[in-house]
Structure 1
C-alpha cells in the first residue's frame, strides 16, 4: 500500500510533516532498491540506530537520546544540502546513511564493523556517481560538525548522575526509597547543555500541591489504593498498564516514532528531520524534567505513605520499585507530553492502528490510533505502579508539551546545515 500524501517541511518558525495511511513494516522485508520509495534508507538507518543503541548504548537514557539526536540532526542537515533535480534523492540517501553511520561510529565505536558493513550495503543500492559522492561527503561533514558542537555537553553518564546531597528528612522532602535506597539519579541533567532550550529552567513548572491541600490528600489516597503491591481495587487491566509502561520511555517510543516515519511520504531529508527533532526535543525534556525535580525535591509516594502525617503505614509497598529521583514531575510523562506534541505536529494527531509491545510486559500487545493515547496510559501507569502521584504525572505532561512546542518553534535553527 502506498502512503497517503504528506510532507511539508517548513524551516522558519515551525516544521510540519504529516501522514496518515499505514505502510507494511519494513523490519521483516528484504532490502529493496533504495528508490523504490523515498523512505527505504531512512528506515534502514532508523533500525540500525535502534540496534546500535540496544547493543552498545549508555546506562543513562538521556545519553542514548543524545546519540539519536546527533546522528539524525546531522542527517537532516546534510540532506538539506541536496541540489534540485533528478539526482536529489540519491544525494539525500547517501547523505542520511553517511551522517548517521559516522555519528554512530564515533558514539558507539564497538559497533564499527557492523556499521561499516551496513553502510556498504546501503551504498551498493544507490546509483554510483557524483550525487552519491557529494551526499557521502555532506553526511560526513555534518556528522563531524554535529559531534563537535555537542562535545562536553554534560550528557555523558558520569555527568548525568553527578552526586546529589540529600537534604535532611522533613515532610514533603525527597529521601532515598526502598527497596534499594539508591542514591539520587539524573541530578546532573539540570546543568547539561540543551539542544534548543535557552536554559534548563526555561519552562520550570510551578510547585507541587501543598501537603495540607485537598489535592494532595486526593493524590495520596489514589496512589495508596491503586498503587499498592497488594491493592484490592486495581484491576487486571490496570496492573497490565503499569507493567507495560514501566520500562524505558526511549525504548517504548522507538516503535511509535518508527510508525510515524514509515507512514510519512516525505523525502529522506524530511524524514530525518522528524527523527532528529523528536530526539532533540526529548533530550531537552529530560534536562527540563531534572531541573524541576531537583528544584522541588518532592518525596515519593512510598515515603509519604510510610512516614507522612496522613494515616502512616510503614508496611505499604508499591507495585513497582520506585526510581531513585524525586516525584515531581514524572519523567515518563514529560517524555510522553513532548513526544505527543512533536508527533501530533509532524505526523498528525491520529494514525491507522499500530501494535506496540513492551519489554516489561512480555506477551502483551496494545493497539493505538493516536499519540495522545500513549500519554493517557503513561499518566495512569505511574499511579498504578505506586511510584508517582497524579499531580506529578499531569505536571510532567504540561512540562513536556511546553518543551515540545518550543522545539517546533525553533526547528529551523536546529536543522540548518552547519559550516
Structure 2
C-alpha cells in the first residue's frame, strides 16, 4: 500500500447510617453472548494477536488525551465524543468484508478502529488534528500494506461520517446542555441556588437532548424522593448535617478522604477503571471497541435521564434544607465541599457509578485483579480496588460526607444508572447495526 496523506473530512457529522441497597442482581450477560458480531467472522478470529489489542488501547489513550486537551466544559458533551468515536469504531470493525482472508481480519479491524476514532475526533476536536494524524500514521505503520488495511481505513472513515451525521443537533453541545432554567419560587423542599456562588442551575438542557438508545429522557424516571415529613428524610438530613459539615467532628479522616477522592468529574475518575478492563481483555479489536462504545453510550443516556429526574422533582439541596428548613434550622451550616448548581435528587455522580458498574459487570465480570486508582482532587492518595461495586459504594458515601447529597439521592442515582445501562446493553445489536 502506498501511504496516503491523512485527510480531514468535514463533519457529517466508610460508615453507613444504613447499608447501600441496590435493586436485585445486575445484568449477568456474558461478554461473548452480548458482543457476538453479525459478520461471518469465525470463532478462531476471536483470539487476537497482542498487537491487535494494543491498537484499541492506544486509541483509548489517544481519545482520553484529546478530551483532556481539547474537551468541552460540559461532561456529557465529552461523553458524547467518546460515544460517537467508539460507536463508529465498533460498527466499522465488525463489518469484515467477505473477501478479506481469515488471517488478515485482525489487520482490517485494527485499521477500521483507528480510522473511525481518528476521523471522529478530528471532527469533534479539530484543534488536535495534527496529533491525531500522527497517531493514525503510527498505527498504520504497524499494519501490513494490503487490501485489509485499505478497506479497514475506508470502513472507519465511512462509519465515522455516518455516526457524526446521525448525532447532529442532538442537544448535547455545551450551550444546549446549560439551557437557562428559571429559579422556582422558594418553598419547602424546592431547589434554590446554593452558596457560596448562588449560581444559576446547570445541566437543565440534558433532559431535552436526544439519547443514543433510550426512547425518551423520562423512560426510567424515578419515583419521588422521601417526603419532607417522613422518618427517612429526617434521618438522612441528620446524617448529612453530622457527617457532611465542613467543621464536622464525627467524620473520620478516612471519610474525609473518600469525599475528596470522589469529588471530581466522574468521566475523569472512571477513565482509568475502564482502561483497566480494556487492557486486561483478550477480546478482538471489534469487541473491545464495543465495550468502550457501550460504556459511554450508557453514560450519555444516563446523564440525560439524570437531569430529567432532577428537574422533574426539583428537590432542594441539604445546605438549603439545613439552613432554612423547619428541622432545627442552622443558617451558619456549611458543607465540606461546595454544592453543585442543580437539584439534589438523584445524585449525578451515583447515576454515573451505577451505569458504569452495570456495563463493566455485564461485559467483564464483577471482579478483577487489584488495580490502583488516583484522583486529581486528592493529590498523593492512591486507592486499590478489586471490584467495580466498591467504586459505587464509595461514591454513595462520598456525596454524603461532602455534605452535598442525601443518601436517598445517592442510592436512587445508582438505581437509575443501572436501569439505563441495562437497557443499553439489551439494545446493543440495534446500536451496532449498520443497516
Does TM, scored on the shorter chain, surpass 0.5? yes
Report the more deviating stretch, 56-65 or 35-44: 35-44
Distance (Å, rounded) in 2 between the aligned partners of 1:239 and 1:194 = 36
RMSD (Å), alpha carbons: 1.5
Asked if 1:36 corresponds to 2:60, the answer is no
Asked if 1:301 corresponds to 2:318, the answer is yes
Asked if the contact 1:382/1:393 (under 8 Å) is kept, the reply is: yes
Compute the displacement of 1:7 (Å). Answer: 5.3
Q: Report the secondary structure of 1:320's partner residue.
A: coil
Asked if 1:185 corresponds to 2:209, the answer is no
Distance (Å, rounded) in 1 between the aligned partners of 2:327 and 2:383 = 37
Asked if the contact 1:80/1:417 (under 8 Å) is kept, the reply is: no
Asked if the contact 2:31/2:362 (under 8 Å) is kept, the reply is: no
Normalization by structure 1: what TM-score? 0.92
Alignment match, 1:62: 76
Alignment match, 1:48: 62
Normalization by structure 2: what TM-score? 0.89
Q: Report the secondary structure of 1:253's partner residue.
A: helix
Unaligned runs of 5+ in 1: 1-5, 14-33
Distance (Å, rounded) in 2 between the aligned partners of 1:291 and 1:412 = 26
Question: Can you list the C-alpha shifts for 1:138-170, whole angstroms capped at 9, x where unaligned?
Answer: 000000000000000000000000000111000
Asked if the contact 1:66/1:155 (under 8 Å) is kept, the reply is: yes
Asked if the contact 1:175/1:299 (under 8 Å) is kept, the reply is: yes
Asked if the contact 1:200/1:287 (under 8 Å) is kept, the reply is: yes
Q: 4+ residue runs of structure 1 moved beyond 4 angstroms? A: none
**Change beyond 3 A, Cα 1:7–1:90:** farther
Q: Report the secondary structure of 1:131's partner residue.
A: helix
Distance (Å, rounded) in 1 between the aligned partners of 2:288 and 2:50 = 16
Asked if the contact 2:351/2:416 (under 8 Å) is kept, the reply is: yes
Unaligned runs of 5+ in 2: 1-29, 38-47
Identify the match of residue 341 of structure 1 among 358, 378, 382. 358
Matches within 5 A, 1:342-381: 342-381=359-398
Compute the displacement of 1:320 (Å). Answer: 0.3
Distance (Å, rounded) in 2 between the aligned partners of 1:98 and 1:250 = 24
Compute the displacement of 1:37 (Å). Answer: 3.9
Alignment match, 2:244: 227
The aligned length equals 394
Matches within 5 A, 1:376-391: 376-391=393-408
Asked if 1:78 corresponds to 2:92, the answer is yes
Q: Report the secondary structure of 2:193's partner residue.
A: coil
Q: Report the secondary structure of 1:94's partner residue.
A: helix
Alignment match, 1:8: 32
